Amino acid sequence: MPVTKSGRGHQGAVDLKLDLTSSPKSAKKLQSKDSSFWDGHPSESPGLEKTKGITAFQTLVHLVKGNMGTGILGLPLAVKNAGILMGPLSLLAMGFTACHCMHILVRCAQHFCHRLNKPFMDYGDTVKHGLEASPSAWLRNHAHWGRRIVSFFLIVTQLGFCCVYIVFLADNLKQVVEAVNGTTTNCHYNETVILTPTMDSRLYMLSFLPFLVLLVLIRNLRVLTIFSMLANISMLVSLIIITQYIAQGIPDPSRLPLVASWKTYPLFFGTAIFSFESIGVVLPLENKMKDARRFPAILSLGMSIITALYIGIGSLGYLRFGNDIKASITLNLPNCWLYQSVKLLYVVGILCTYALQFFVPAEIIIPFATSQVSKRWALPLDLSIRLAMVCLTCTLAILIPRLDLVLSLVGSVSSSALALIIPPLLEITTYYSEGMSPLTIAKDLLISILGFVGFVVGTYQALDELIFSGHPLTSSNSTIFVQ
């Protein structure tokens, strides 16, 4: 598809998280644009205005970078919930399926762009037009619900990310404060450390709230781009240090189960699908390429790199720490200043990224809300909604302070819908009237059914663990140093 003006705000907002090098000139355009909560029409999006386009290598970098968040740090625990053999094999299958669904989304978007002579089609528009092309009269009459469903899951996903970030921030800062008196320059993990008692992790969450409020009140994309660059640098350095540590001193793996209990596998599904979070950025990236014909190959290469990285981090982390693996692998790092600095770097990175993740639901909800009031009340309402939304994410994080369960819940509820359930059904509604082979239909139905099963079972298992677990709420995130 040609490089030109983009679609709705939420897709552009997701792209903002990735495109750190793009010009922020569109900030004023974005702040003044009108959009609708449910049934918005295409308008300008940040970083997607007419440009010379990005190269294949830049597209690859953005795609890989779009998957790097807190999800990768929870993959070692996910592998534990699946087994040392079943976990990597499942990650491979999930990566292949997620990549295939991204290709489906791109192909359907291109189909409607050519048919309707539109330069760009975002996720919501594609689903809406897919339903309009359905042979079912009922689906055609309710096609507008396609955009509403996508908008709803985007809001749930992004606010879920924000909740995960708050839990992550509190857990890691709490551990650093507890261990600061015993922190040394000796990085041997078997050194005994006496942790200093400190306040509950939920109080740490509240302590971050003022900083988060200040961040989400920033509406200037130029400032947010600076925060995003800082976040990516800090997280990149942290991942390099973490990887070199877990790759050394791996004990005998024979004691680890090849296949874990079926009861914990749904938790693996939720955490793993949470990590494959780039379904919302594939269309903006394709639209920005100089030569969009190369995008399918770049998408396959990028997802191969991501899947290999996930399998490597997840497997090595579980092999390194075994049953002692925590909800985030940063909580397993030894108590020396080098690895304490890793936690602090990730805290800085996630704190900065919070505003960018928050930007997505804000750009869906706030324009709709402010359009319902007079111009005089638009700014006060804007700021009030931002304050209410950040307080909501903090409240939810406090109510569910177990990082592993938050990851699994968000992944099962919304990420599975956006990444696995909707794209195959979209392919059927788009091409059914033009003729589809029974094998393709069966394949699409199988993917959607598996995604729906993961959606239901993963959500149920996470809620069951939360409600009926006999362990304290914060036990899975605590860290214990042993001799």
pLDDT (tens digit, 9 = 90+) per residue, 158-208? 888 888 889 888 888 888 887 776 665 566 554 545 566 677 888 889 999
Query: Which range has the top average pLDDT, 193-197, 230-234, 419-423?
Result: 419-423
In angstroms and rounded to an integer, the radius of gyration of the C-alpha atoms of the chain is: 22
Output the furthest CA–CA distance in the chain (Å, rounded): 69
∠ CA 179-184-190 to the nearest 5 degrees? 80
d(CA 390, CA 78): 28
Query: Which range has the top average pLDDT, 267-276, 319-328, 387-396?
Result: 387-396
Q: What is the mean pLDDT of residues 431-460?
A: 89
In angstroms, the Cα distances linking 278 to 143, 282, 471 are 24, 7, 34
Q: What is the mean pLDDT of residues 337-358?
A: 82
Give the CATH fold of the 9-477 domain. Answer: Amino acid/polyamine transporter I (1.20.1740)
The DSSP line for 313-356 is HHHHHHHHHGGG--SSGGGGS-SBHHHHHHHHHHHHHHHHHHHH
Q: What is the pLDDT confidence band of residue 87, given thresholds at 50, 70 and 90?
A: very high
Query: Which range has the top average pLDDT, 74-88, 155-169, 457-471?
Result: 74-88
Of 8-17, 56-65, 80-89, 288-297, the range with the lowest mean pLDDT is: 8-17
Domain ranges of the chain: 9-477
pLDDT of residue 52: 52
Q: What is the mean pLDDT of residues 364-379?
A: 87
Name the 3-class secondary structure at 436: coil
Q: What is the mean pLDDT of residues 8-13?
A: 40
- Of the two residues 282 and 106, the one the predictor is more confident about is 106
- Of the two residues 90 and 37, the one the predictor is more confident about is 90
How buried is 233 (Cβ within 10 angstroms: 0-12 exposed, 13-18 middle, 19+ buried)? middle
Give percent of the chain with pLDDT exceeding 70.
79
| pLDDT(429) > 60 | yes
| pLDDT(3) > 60 | no
- Identify whether the C-beta of residue 154 lies closer than 8 Å to the C-beta of residue 364: yes
Mean pLDDT of the chain: 78
Could you identify the residue written with the tokens 């938050």? 406
Q: pLDDT (tens digit, 9 = 90+) per residue, 131-146?
A: 998 888 898 898 989 8
* Letter string b/e over residues 315-328, b meaning 16 or more CB atoms within 10 A of that residue's CB: bbbbbbbbeebbbb
Residue 54 bridge partners (DSSP): 289
Q: What is the mean pLDDT of residues 116-121?
A: 85
Q: Pinpoint the alpha helices (H) of 118-200.
A: 123-132, 137-141, 144-179
Q: pLDDT (tens digit, 9 = 90+) per residue, 349-369?
A: 888 778 877 877 888 888 888
Give percent of the chain with pLDDT exceeding 90.
21
- Of the two residues 292 and 467, the one the predictor is more confident about is 292
| pLDDT(49) > 70 | no
Q: What is the pLDDT confidence band of residue 118, given thresholds at 50, 70 and 90?
A: confident
> In Å, how far from its chain's centre is CA 128?
23
Residue 229 φ/ψ region, left for φ over 0, alpha for ψ in the -120 to 50 degree band, beta for the rest: alpha
| pLDDT(330) > 90 | no
pLDDT of residue 11: 39
pLDDT of residue 26: 38
Q: What is the pLDDT confidence band of residue 334, given thresholds at 50, 70 and 90?
A: confident
Q: What is the pLDDT confidence band of residue 43, given thresholds at 50, 70 and 90?
A: very low
Q: What is the mean pLDDT of residues 13-26?
A: 38
Of 111-115, 400-404, 418-422, 455-459, the range with the lowest mean pLDDT is: 400-404
